Structure 1
Amino acid sequence: MQPTGLRLAAAAIVVAPALGLSAPAQAAGPTADCLGEEGATVEEARLDGEVPQEILRRSQLADTAAEFTRELCAATDLDEARTVVERHADALWRSAVERVQSPDEPDGANGGNRDRGGKDGEQLSAGDDRPLYWARLGMTSALNRWQPDFSLDAADRAGLVAETDRRSRGQADADFPEEYGSSDVKRVVVTGFDPFQLDNDVRQANPSGAAALALDGAVIETADGVVVVEAMLFPVRWRDFTDGTVERALVPHHAGERPADAVITVSQGRDGQFDLEQHNGAWRGGFDDNENEGTEEIAPIPDGVPTVTPQPQWSDSTLDAEAVIDATDGSPFPVIHNTGVTEIPEGETEPVFRPDGPTPGSEARAGGGGDYLSNEIAYRNTLLRDATEGDIPAGHVHTPILHLATGDAVTDPQFEADRTAVVDQVRAIVTAAARP
């Protein structure tokens, strides 16, 4: 994710069974007597706009926040509130995954990315990642504005918001089923991101999020064996990364009893191509996140997690770039092995670009993936691999940018077709990286 905006002939995709969504409902705002007017974050405040409301109206997640709020208002103590949060946040993730993988859609087993129509009132295509994003914000906004009848301190409220965020992103649902514990099965974690740069165009989607939703629970059968995927999403917010959201979610897959066989982070990058980022830097450039916040600094590592000391300036990908590029030859988008970085060479003060990677003793100023949150999640992931002495493929994939047509429409045929192509190619890249 920059701050700018394979085919496997022998592979067959088997997706987990659907969970039985109800029919689409009309959007209902989370208005209730227990909600105040104040408390929403900068990110949540965008939810009142026409575009977010249209996206929710045209999705199967339209009533999510209203139903959540009704039960939240009925909670009589913190324990009841926690139960409401856990149930609804888990259900939101499951519903969003099912929606993207809907068997009722043409090619549903491949992500359900085909268009359902373009006019307001018609349903958005199943593969759209944006309904989950806006539905989640409706839930966290309700929590931040909630005025319960019992005493609720700031720490407890923040804990409820954090749990909603974690569970509705699939981070609590990423355990691999026991039947896929065989050494012949490759177990792969794939991550994606929320839409971002919404003040530039609130219609923004993120193909990495769409790919994660399409791949969660996928069982991919190849000529070389089975690949099983668990996926999760991350916010475009510096504060969450500072607080250790990446490490909390990924440490079990690097250091657990049965670590994953590959951990691949994905985000949206630049026009017309995929990038496999080789070198990840410790520097965050401070570009505004989804809360319009940002600070230039070295990425802080949270206490209590495996790490390397002293903190290194660089941590590298172990994805087999050559195998991925060979396996995806002939795909819609070229796949580029990006080895460039920006560094301050040892003993110097000005940053320079190095096309072949960092030099010894240099200070990071941008990894191959830049100095935004995509570079940072790549750095944190590969640093965890190094700290746990893992010998697995771990690295970052940048997708092409998705563009919407000029005007006000929240979707269009080219946007839908491009997202389908990107998601299909992410699946191929993940498969090739897991079984090079």
Structure 2
Amino acid sequence: MSRKLAAAAIALAGPFVAAPAAEAAPPACFDRTASTTFEESRIDTPALPGGQQVPSALVEAGGFTSYVDGLRAELCRARSVAAAERVLNQRGRVLWHDAVERAQGRLWMGTIERYDDRPLYWARLVGTRDLRQWRPSFAVSDGDRAALLRTFEYASRGITSNAFPNREAVTKVLVSGFDPYQLNNEIRRSNPSGASALQLDGVTFKAGRKTIQIQAVALPVTWSGFNAGIVEDAFGPHLAGDSGGQRADLIMTISQGNRGTMNIEQWAAAWRGGNPDNNNEGTPEPIPPAAGWPQPDPQPEFIETTLPYQAMIDARTTPWPTRLNQQICEWAAADRPTGPVTCKTTGPTPGGQAQSGGGGNYLSNESMYRSNRLRLALGATDIPGGHLHISALVYPADPLVVIDQAFAADRAQTIEQTIALVKAAGASRAGA
């Protein structure tokens, strides 16, 4: 990261310990006793003594308070399910668009630095909670509500608006990041992969005489979201052969990994370990198929990266080392899930059963597996695909400080290195 960029990040990030934000009284069309998800319940996480109520403070500090208040008001004015769907699609698109514009420095919003992904996360979550508790004067079936939630989620995650310019001369790169997670013990969590997605969405750059464009989406940290096919819905339209000029030239899923390293994962595994997600749910099991999308038959136990990993390594980005992570863990044939597990770096054993890829068996592994399983099923073997695990963040030692200069500078450097690695992959794919 340049000194100018680091200085800007630091200047905008001075210890953020503002007073708790006061949430506006909800309009009468909401039933605040209605059920929400466990993830949504974190919106009401109480402040630590002497501190702030972090979720609402981050929404305010990011400049999104008027957005969540406006969505509530528009839902209360809606007079039909169709009208509500239009509101949610439009509001979701605006939320994603404004978050991208804010992240890339074209829109000044709020009081915290532009690399912060948390205001978008919490604003979206307030929207989904409000939609579950919305009680209009007309009937809304469970199916209607589920469809409305999907409309808002896809629009506010960039999935509805991830089209590339219809120009064959442009090399098209599609990437994904993730929401914050592991919030039970650290409500201040950010996710540099989701923050990188905001920085990358819509970016066009030149490598020699080649033009490369990047589109990005943000994925949820929920097994249920993956079960519903959100990964396939995000990547699938850009993998089909008849996609009307929307076919990607390279796909990459990105997530937060271990501190101090940027790992290009060589292998994704067909097993989900079942560690708790943002809804505190999880069951160990094989990764299930995605309804409505083709699947390889038989399902591969492991899928190998086809990213131009050597070009990414040779780009010599900083501050963290970049390497190819070759580790896998597997059961012997027919031993899953109770037999002994063997971990190695020499590739899968013929007939072995996947226990984890190099990046584990959580949702990051599954994002790589699902996107590339679909790539193979659609015959898009000419499109490179794989996963990048980026350095984890270290939070301020004082639990009352939501962001300080050191945290902001560290996150900015990790995000800028992620951008450089994605650009290196795109340039390699373009032949630049």
Alignment of 1:280-295 (within 5 A): 280-295=268-283
C-alpha distance in structure 1 between counterparts of 2:107 and 2:227, whole Å: 40
| Cα distance, 1:75–1:347 mapped onto 2, change above 3 Å | closer
- 2:50 — aligned with what? none
C-alpha distance in structure 1 between counterparts of 2:354 and 2:270, whole Å: 6
After superposition, the CA RMSD in angstroms is 1.7
The one-letter code matched in structure 2 to 1:154 is D
C-alpha distance in structure 2 between counterparts of 1:330 and 1:51, whole Å: 33
1:63 correspondence with 2:49: no
Identity among equivalent pairs (%) = 39
Does the aligned pair in 1 maintain the 2:328–2:358 contact within 8 Å? yes
- 2:259 — aligned with what? 271
1:432 correspondence with 2:432: no
C-alpha distance in structure 2 between counterparts of 1:137 and 1:347, whole Å: 41
1:182 correspondence with 2:168: yes
Does the aligned pair in 1 maintain the 2:254–2:389 contact within 8 Å? yes
Could you list the runs of 5+ residues in structure 1 that have no partner in the other structure? Answer: 1-5, 8-25, 106-115, 117-121
| Cα distance, 1:157–1:130 mapped onto 2, change above 3 Å | same
Does the aligned pair in 1 maintain the 2:204–2:212 contact within 8 Å? yes
Q: 1:383, CA displacement in angstroms?
A: 1.1
The one-letter code matched in structure 2 to 1:319 is L
- 2:306 — aligned with what? 318
1:101 correspondence with 2:86: no
Q: 1:276, CA displacement in angstroms?
A: 0.1
* Aligned with 1:401 (options 368, 392, 409): 392
The one-letter code matched in structure 1 to 2:269 is G
1:386 correspondence with 2:389: no
Does the aligned pair in 1 maintain the 2:334–2:353 contact within 8 Å? no
| Cα distance, 1:72–1:323 mapped onto 2, change above 3 Å | same
Q: 1:288, CA displacement in angstroms?
A: 0.2
The one-letter code matched in structure 2 to 1:396 is H
C-alpha distance in structure 1 between counterparts of 2:128 and 2:317, whole Å: 43
Q: 1:182, CA displacement in angstroms?
A: 2.6
* Aligned with 1:344 (options 324, 331, 341): 331
Does the aligned pair in 2 maintain the 1:60–1:99 contact within 8 Å? no
| Cα distance, 1:245–1:104 mapped onto 2, change above 3 Å | closer
Does the aligned pair in 2 maintain the 1:35–1:146 contact within 8 Å? yes
SS in 2 for 1:63: helix
Per-residue CA deviations over 1:334-356 (Å, capped at 9, x if unaligned) read: 00100101001236531110122
Does the aligned pair in 2 maintain the 1:27–1:56 contact within 8 Å? no
* Aligned with 2:37 (options 21, 34, 41): 41
Q: 1:330, CA displacement in angstroms?
A: 5.1
SS in 2 for 1:435: helix
C-alpha distance in structure 2 between counterparts of 1:151 and 1:386, whole Å: 43
SS in 1 for 2:197: helix
- 1:372 — aligned with what? 362
- 1:233 — aligned with what? 218
Per-residue CA deviations over 1:280-314 (Å, capped at 9, x if unaligned) read: 00100000000000000001012321220111111
Per-residue CA deviations over 1:346-402 (Å, capped at 9, x if unaligned) read: 365311101222111110000111000000000011112211222122100001001
Moved more, 37-46 or 165-174: 37-46
Which ranges of 4 or more aligned residues in structure 1 deviate by more than 3 Å?
A: 26-30
Moved more, 233-242 or 298-307: 298-307
- 2:346 — aligned with what? 356
Does the aligned pair in 1 maintain the 2:274–2:285 contact within 8 Å? yes
Per-residue CA deviations over 1:24-45 (Å, capped at 9, x if unaligned) read: xx86446110110222211111
Moved more, 35-44 or 293-302: 35-44
Does the aligned pair in 2 maintain the 1:29–1:65 contact within 8 Å? no
- 1:155 — aligned with what? 143
The one-letter code matched in structure 2 to 1:142 is D
Q: 1:435, CA displacement in angstroms?
A: 2.4
C-alpha distance in structure 1 between counterparts of 2:171 and 2:296, whole Å: 26
C-alpha distance in structure 1 between counterparts of 2:228 and 2:81, whole Å: 23
* Aligned with 2:322 (options 315, 323, 335): 335
Does the aligned pair in 1 maintain the 2:317–2:417 contact within 8 Å? no
C-alpha distance in structure 1 between counterparts of 2:293 and 2:365, whole Å: 19
Does the aligned pair in 2 maintain the 1:393–1:434 contact within 8 Å? no
Does the aligned pair in 1 maintain the 2:98–2:107 contact within 8 Å? no
Moved more, 347-356 or 201-210: 347-356
SS in 2 for 1:232: strand
The one-letter code matched in structure 1 to 2:356 is A
Does the aligned pair in 2 maintain the 1:237–1:290 contact within 8 Å? yes
Per-residue CA deviations over 1:201-257 (Å, capped at 9, x if unaligned) read: 010000001100001010111225221001000100001111111111111111123
1:32 correspondence with 2:27: yes
Q: 1:52, CA displacement in angstroms?
A: 0.6
| Cα distance, 1:129–1:27 mapped onto 2, change above 3 Å | farther
Q: 1:322, CA displacement in angstroms?
A: 1.1
| Cα distance, 1:394–1:224 mapped onto 2, change above 3 Å | farther
C-alpha distance in structure 2 between counterparts of 1:222 and 1:363, whole Å: 41
C-alpha distance in structure 1 between counterparts of 2:370 and 2:346, whole Å: 21
C-alpha distance in structure 2 between counterparts of 1:98 and 1:400, whole Å: 24
C-alpha distance in structure 2 between counterparts of 1:60 and 1:249, whole Å: 27
Could you list the runs of 5+ residues in structure 2 that have no partner in the other structure? Answer: 3-20, 46-52
SS in 2 for 1:361: coil
SS in 2 for 1:271: coil
Alignment of 1:255-270 (within 5 A): 255=240, 256-258=243-245, 259-270=247-258
